[in-house]
Structures are given as structure tokens and as C-alpha cells.
Chain A
Amino acid sequence: MAKVLEGPGMGLMKKWGINVPNYVVVTSVDELTKLGQANEWLKKSKLVAKAHEALGSRFKLGLVKVDLDFKAAEAATKEMIGRQVGSITVTQVIVSEMIAHKEEYYCAVKSTREGSEILVANCGGIEVESNWERVKRLCLEIGQAPSAEALEKLSKEAGFAGPLTKKMAEFAGKMFACFDSEDAQYLEVNPVVTRASDGELVALDAVTLLDGDAKFRHPDWNFAFAAEFGRAYSKQEEEVMAVDSKIKGSVKFIEIPGGDTAMLPAGGGASVYYSDAVVARGGKLANYAEYSGDPPDWAVEVLTEKVCSLPGIKNIIVGGAIANFTDVVKTFGGIINGFRKAKAEGKLKGVKIWVRRGGPREKEGLDAMRALKDEGFDISVFDRNTPLTDIVDKALQAK
């Protein structure tokens, strides 16, 4: 799952023949000024300026300005760039042409188990949310493309009439073509509007989620994927992602500010059960993490260092199920090195470490962890005979 910002999202739609407003993405006012000299529409049209970042509720934050002339757009850009919102700094602004329109519609394509679904409604904007029953669907099996007739039928069902029926059907067809060809998982245009100038349907806003795993067959995906939490990735998260992309197996790390229970479990499945256990016991997660697929020890060491550096933590949960092929000695070696480094840097003061694990070479691995007691770590080590998430109970009950 990979979120794509509006600019590249619009770019993909344009590629598949969908009308989008003229737009530019800029990183400075000077850039916009230069573009204004080169593109007549910037000087002629009314403009919209939006912060081009993975931020929720931009409107409320004052990061969307509408009905601007070029001068006002420059001023808005100047004001937005460099603004701090939580952990995000606004670095890009998208300036697009404001399309005069009356009606607003809705069109989306989403992934389903059997294939995909095209959604159409003859209302749009926030109206869709409250009138979800007006959204009509066309289900498609994988490998099947929608026929012109089926699309027109969908358009009619959604309440489109006259020449608009065919226009909406064609619009939905292009949306499907874009979805299918670009390995999208979700594509939503809300609103779709009728351009007052020529009566054509135009996509005013795009939500684009692509399948990151398909990047290998899309050499033209030259944009970065955006974080999906409504905030940018932190430096630590990015460093772990960089390691993750280089190795066999995986290491994952997401920070959750304000928590006191740090997670360092193995396995994509078990890690979520561990997180659940912390929440169920009334603990506060300081992060999410997991390593799996027999990653190299140095990668696990990097992950460990990040976990140990989380502020205000009281416990570290080094949990894990019984591994299939992840070598416990090797991966624990990485964790132990990370712990030692953290301790040498004066971290881990008063932090309790809880270990539970099974798998290839489990005994040696657990023995090595136990030996950390002699180095002054506050560490409790359990084997496969202690149920998976019991260490969380022990940690959160310990005083």
C-alpha cells in the first residue's frame, strides 16, 4: 500500500486521458514566479493553492487557499512553505487552476478480492459521505474490463441523464484503465465536476493508493510514496526503511510519541498480537516494530538502537513466536549488540527488558540474552514454555 500525493496522482490520471485542472508543484515562490512567466494559465485563471504534503484536514489548518489571482497565489505559497504542522514541514505547494462548476459528482475504483469495483454517484464532495446509498457499483472480475454498455448502465443507475450519462460512463472507464494499468489499490475522484467552459468532466481532487510491490514494472513511478499516518516519516523511521530495502527479510519501525512500552518483537503476525496485549493491559505503546525472515544481525542491531533511543520508555518487549527459519542466535546477537551500545551511551537506565522466543538455536540465543544480567541489564528471559504474550503481562504488572 503506497499513498501518492495529489500532484503525481493527477499526473497518472492525465496519462490515462482523464481531464485534470492545470497544476504545478513548487518548492519555492521563485519557482512559481518563473512558472508564471512560462504558463499563461497561471496568470489568466483563478487559482487554488494547497500544501502538497501527506496531511489530513488541510482546510482546517489553513493550508488550502481558494479563489486566488497569481499575486495572491504567490503570497499563499510564501506563507505555506516552511510551515511546521506537528512533525511535518511543508516543503511543497500545489497550485492549480480553479475550475468553475455547479454540480459535483463522485467516482472511485477499489480493489476487491475477485477483482475490482467501480463506484459512481451523482453527488459529490462531502455530500457523498452522508448519502452513501446513492453510490452505485459495478463489480469486475480480475482480468475483465468493463464494457461500454455496462458503464452506461452504471451511469444511468447512479442517476445520470442525457449526454452526461455517456460522459460519466467514459470517465469511469478511464478511471478503470488508470487503476488497472497502474497497479492501483484505490483511486478516488471527489469531486468530479462539469467544466463550465466546455462541459467536459474534470477530476478536481485525487486520492491515489498504489501497490508498492508492483514498482518493478513501473519505471515511470518517479515520485516518492507518502506516509499514511497524516504525518511525515521521522528520521529514525526512514533510516530503518532504508535498511529494510537493502536486506533479505525485513525490519520495520514506527514511532508512537508519548508511549512508555517499547516493542522489539519478531514476526509480522506476532508483533501485532504483542501490540494488542500491551493495549489490552492498559499499557501505552511507544512504537511498533518487527523483524522477520531471518534478517542479518546488523539490521536487527540498527532496529534495536532505534528502539532503545525512544524517550521515556520503561519496558522493552523482545517477544517472538517459535521461528521457522530465523536464526535466534544471529538475530539476538544483533539485539544484544544494540543493547550494549545503548547502555554505553547512557541509555536504558531503569528500563526493564523482557524476552520470549523460540526457533532455530533457541537455547543458545536465550542463554546469550540471559548472560546480559551479568553486565548489569535488567532483563528477564523466557522460553517457549511461557505463552507468547505473557511477558507483556509480567512487564506491565512489574513495579
Chain B
Amino acid sequence: MSILANKDTYVVIQGGVAGVNAARRMAEFCYLIKRSLNVLAFVYPPDAGKTHEIPYGSGLVAVPIYKTVAEATKHHPQINTSLVYIGADRAMKGGMEALDDTHIKVVSMITEGVPEKDAKILGAHARKLGKVFNGPSSIGIVSAGSCRLGVIGGAFDNLVLSKLYREGSFGVITKSGGLSNEIIWICSQFADGITTAIGIGGDAYPGTDYVSYLEMFENDPQTKAVIIVGEMGGDLEERAAEWYGAKKRRVKLMAVVSGFCQESLPKGMKFGHAGAKEGLKGEGSARSKSDALKKSGAIVPATFGALGPAIKDVYQDMLKSGQVKEPVEPASLPKLPKSIEAAMKADEVVVTPLIRTTISDDRGDEPCYDGYPASELINKGYEIPHVVGLLWDKRLISKQEAEIIKRIMMLSADHGPCVSGALGTIIAACAGIGLSQSVAAGLIMIGPRFGGAVTDAGRFFKHAVDNKMTVDEFLTYMKKNHGPVPGIGHRVKSLRNPDKRVKELVGYVKSLPIKTPCLDFALQVEQVTAAKKDNLILNVDGTMAAVLVDIGFPVDSLNGFFILSRTIGLIGHWVDQKRQDSRLIRLFDYLVNYAAPKRREVPPLK
């Protein structure tokens, strides 16, 4: 047996994240005692209609979320208990809603910082209805072997260590949430464990006091002794003493009270929970409480540390008198399935990774590019081209190579609004589309006819150089298999009107002491093609391609240089249109050659 919470307790949790965490902990307990999950519903209006997936063993239980307590109990009439995790400013409303529901008999409020007035109103309302309002600031309630409400009991291994999977003989009532586990643990080490442990919360006016629970324990034959963990402030301990001393009780009462330190502290200094405050006349001090309890016949150890041995003595007496028998431990207990991470750490599973990466890792305190921490690269004078080198080609490029890349990027950042890419972005910007989509609209244009010739040009020049082709062999090969040479030819520029950017780049690269077989070959090709037709010059794509291949970048990454640098321009165009608050644009009719059939009559449908 137990009190308040048992095998027939079914729960609705009111509140958000904290409530879901509690449900997970409760599921662990249910799994340990081989009981199905006792959380049947959540009430959280913002997420009404959805479900929370609560892990149970190695599976998941979908627990529905409702808008109101009434809806939850209508769908799950076996619900009889509510746990309130709603914020302090709305907790009273939520608590009232639960108390007023005919299905619900017990409400435990976990919320901290609830105004005293609200707690009093809730407590009075519950008493009027003959229901239990536990808390606020309750850590929860746990009945060994049958039911856990809230996170009381801690992690799964603690549930097992504290033998919460089966009943003992001790009842526990604490104000402190943190100490509830401590006492449960002590009871399992010095005696046979607990029946039910209740956190009533450390507020000044908790909804339920020690006495109401002492009455319940008195009527639970399984509970042979009750331990109260009290603290200074209020008069709950005195009332418990009064109850215990009033007549012969079946249960033994044991208690400790904290707050003796107050006697030697500066006056008015207040510690601990909200309720831990002395009355103005010194009532409610630790000493007066512990004296009252002693006088009533309760066992009151001098310190918290002496509680364990005192519990042991009480338990040994019970064993001797035959009141209790040594508990029988189960042969085996369910083990909580490990998370993948924990199992991997323990070398228990092999996982086949879904993806493999060889360039970067941000699992530490900062991203590493090919193993080099980003902040170190910054502090040692490296620049953007080096990052490109690390992420695209997994190597630290030289200062010279970085300079070449920087110049390439600066030269191809933007080519005005008329080219396909910029036009695409501008049209999107004028249509009110966001930055990333508009830039993407421009980037989509990059391909075989616009800007995308870099990769192809690089591939063919490299092919020619690798195969030691002559220019004539190369041109024949291209004509036969692929058509025009990518990287050769320009719509506007020609021999007489050379492309300044190409001259710049070629000039700079040739001034460096590096080998440039591809560039040299491309320039030879240009001599032949430009002689045939004035505008078949080596264009900027071809130049970039040849140079990048010469400094060792893989052919497949070459278009990336254009995409990367042109993105700068596309962003610029989007911002530019945005700044001007440009209107939606429509193509003018006169720019269209309407070659569709003239208007005609639609024939009858056959």
C-alpha cells in the first residue's frame, strides 16, 4: 500500500517544457516497475492538438496535448491527478481549473514563486472540495513500486539504488525537494525503503500540511514509521507534534528540523526556502520545533547525519518484533536502454555513419577547417582565400596563391545589372522576395552559358596539357567532340577592345615565379582562334580556369570561384533594389515579339 499515488493513479500534466521533462522521468519509473505510462495527457493551449513523444523503454509513447483540463479528462476519464508546471503568474488559474474538474482528486503544484495568497486560495478551495492540493514548489510524490509524480527520485540509477521498485515501511514528508531523495536513499540503506515520499514544498503556506499526510500514513498499514524533514518557519512541525502527541498513534514519528544556525547569525538574516522565516516573536525557530516534536514522543536526532542510524534502530526493532520482514529483492530488474551516445561510449554498439566529412568539425568550442581552429587562422594573419583553400582543396595555400584567388574574386564580384544572374536577382528583389531566395534566383543562372564556363574551360585546358596536345590537335578534338572552346570568345570584347581584367590577371600571374602550363596553353589557343575571328579571345572565365588549374585547384571546384565571388554582387543588387524600394517590374510589350496565332474562335467541344 501507499498513500496519495498508486497503481490506479493516472495523470494530466499542465504546462510546457518542464512538464515534458517530468513525463520522461515518470516514464522511466513506469518502465522500471513494468507499468504502462501513467501520463495520459498534457494541457498546454499553444500546442493543443499535437502530441508529445515520451520515450518508454526503447519505444515512444505519443501523449496528446489538450487545450483544457476538461478536454483531457473527457478523452481520458481515468485521469484522477494533475501535476501543475505552469508559470507562477498563471499557476493559480491552472490549479483552480484542475481542482474544479470532477475527475481530479489530487493536484500537485510544482511551480515555484507562486504568491502566498494564491497558494492559500488554492489550499482552501481544495479543502472545501475534499481534494488534495499539494505544493506549490513541490518536487513531487513517489510511491515505491507503484507511482511517481514529477521528478522526485532523480535519475534512473538512483531509482534502482534507492530500491524504489518495491515497497518498504517508511513514509517521508519533506519541505525540501533536494532532501527528499536523500531521505529516500537513507531509508533504503539503513532500512527497507519507503512506501510513499511527498514533497510538500518549502513555501510559507503549502496547500497541504504534515498532519493531513500523517493521518493518511496512520491509515496505511504498510507504513510503519514516518520521517519528517522540516525546517524553521511557520508552524507545520508544531502542528505535527500536536497531532502525534494527542493520542497513541500506530505509526512511529521521526523528524529533523533545520535552522539552528539562525541562533548564531545576525538577526533578520534569512536562509533557504520562502517559508523559512521566523515569526516576529521567535516562534517557528528550529529549536522550538524540535523541542515540540521531542515532547510529543517523536524521535528527533540531533543532526541530519544522525538520522540514518536512528532509522536503522527503528527498523531493527520492527524486525525483532516481527512487525516487518526482510524484503525480498526481485531476481532481475529492467535496465534502462542506453542512448546511442552512451552505448557507443561504452563500446557496446557499432554505428554505420550516415555521412562522412573530411573538411570541417565544429564539435569543439569553435569550428576547425581541415583541423585548423578558425580563431588561430585569424590571429596568424590568414585570409578568406586560405579558408577557401582549406575547405575546397584541403590544403593551406601560399601567400601568392591566396593573392591570386583574392584578385580573381575581386575581378568577378559583379558585372553590372544586365547579365542573367544579376537580372534574375533584381527581378526577384522587385517582386518582394527575400535575400536568400533572390540571390538563389541569380545563382540558378550560372551554368554553361553564363559564368559557368570556368569549370569546363579548366577541364579541357587541363586535358590538353595532360595529354601534351598541340593547339591544332586540341581545336580539332574540341570541334569533333564538344563544339566551341569554353573560356574562349566574348560577346563584346575583342582583340582591338581587349578585356582589361584578363590583362590584369595574366600580367600578375606571369610576374610570379610559378609554373603556368595551362595558362600558357590557353594563351596559345587564343592566338590561333583570335586570328580566325576578332572576338575569339581568351575571356575572363578561361583565364581564371587556367590559372586556378595551374595553382592546383581541382577542376570540379572551379565554378565555385565564380559562384562565390558573384554572390557578393548579387547580394549587392538585392540590397540596392531594397534600398530604393523598387516596384514590381513587368516586361514591356515592345520588348516581346508576339509570334503566337491571332485571336480566333474556340470550336464546340467534341
Contact = CB atoms under 8 A, between A and B. Distances in A.
Interface of A: 1, 56, 111, 113-115, 141-143, 180, 183, 185-186, 211, 213-214, 216-217, 228-231, 254, 256, 266-273, 275-280, 285, 288, 290, 292-293, 320-326, 358-361, 384, 387-390, 393
B176 A213 contact: no
A229 B258 contact: no
A272 B271 contact: yes
A228 to B, nearest CB: 5
A324 B180 contact: yes
A221 to B, nearest CB: 13
A361 B272 contact: no
27 contacts: A1-B270, A56-B268, A111-B205, A114-B124, A142-B121, A183-B117, A186-B280, A211-B115, A213-B274, A214-B118, A216-B89, A230-B266, A269-B177, A269-B178, A272-B231, A272-B259, A273-B179, A273-B256, A273-B303, A277-B304, A278-B261, A290-B272, A322-B181, A325-B154, A358-B158, A384-B185, A388-B305
Interface in B132-174: 139-140, 151-155, 158, 161, 174
Contacts of B451: none
B114 A279 contact: no
B112 A293 contact: yes
Contacts of A280: 260, 302-303
Given A254-B271, A277-B303, A324-B153, A270 B179 contact: yes
Given A270-B182, A292-B178, A228 B120 contact: no
Given A268-B202, A290-B272, A292-B178, 11 more contacts: A115-B120, A142-B117, A142-B123, A211-B117, A228-B270, A230-B267, A269-B258, A270-B178, A272-B276, A277-B304, A389-B303
Given A269-B179, A322-B185, A325-B151, A113 B234 contact: yes
Contact of A273 (B152, B181, B258, B302): B258
B289 interface: no
Contact of B154 (A214, A292, A359): A359
5 closest Cβ contacts across the A-B interface?
Answer: A269-B176, A267-B178, A321-B182, A214-B115, A275-B261
Contacts of A217: 89, 115
Contacts of A114: 120, 124
B-side interface size class:
35 or more
Nearest to A266: B178
Nearest to B306: A387
Contacts of B229: 269
Of A142, A273, A276, A323, the most chain B CB neighbours within 10 A belong to A273
Contact of B268 (A228, A268, A273, A277): A228
B155 A321 contact: no
Contacts of A326: 178
Contact of B155 (A113, A275, A361, A393): A361
Contact of B304 (A183, A216, A231, A273): A273
A132 to B, nearest CB: 8
A260 B312 CA distance: 34
A397 to B, nearest CB: 13
B433 interface: no
A326 B176 CA distance: 14
Contacts of A141: 124
A186 to B, nearest CB: 8
Nearest to A392: B305
A230 B270 CA distance: 12
A1 B303 contact: no
B113 interface: yes
B100 to A, nearest CB: 15
Contacts of B177: 267, 269, 292, 324
Nearest to B112: A293
Contact of A276 (B21, B202, B266, B286): B286
Contacts of A320: 178
Nearest to A3: B268
Interface in B210-231: 229, 231
Contact of A256 (B152, B155, B269): B269
Among A111, A217, A278, A325: residue with most chain B CB under 10 A: A325
B265 interface: yes
A202 to B, nearest CB: 23
Interface in B177-211: 177-182, 185-186, 202, 204-205, 209
B573 interface: no
B52 interface: no
B167 to A, nearest CB: 20
Contact of B88 (A216, A231, A290, A388): A216
B495 to A, nearest CB: 67
B305 A229 contact: no
Contacts of B117: 142, 180, 183, 211, 214
A114 B117 CA distance: 10
Contacts of A324: 139-140, 151-154, 177-178, 180-181
B67 interface: no
Q: Which of B25, B113, B261, B303 has the most CB of A within 10 A?
A: B261
A358 B303 contact: no
A185 B270 CA distance: 15
Contacts of B305: 277, 387-390, 393
A306 B474 CA distance: 77
A269 B117 CA distance: 23
B499 interface: no
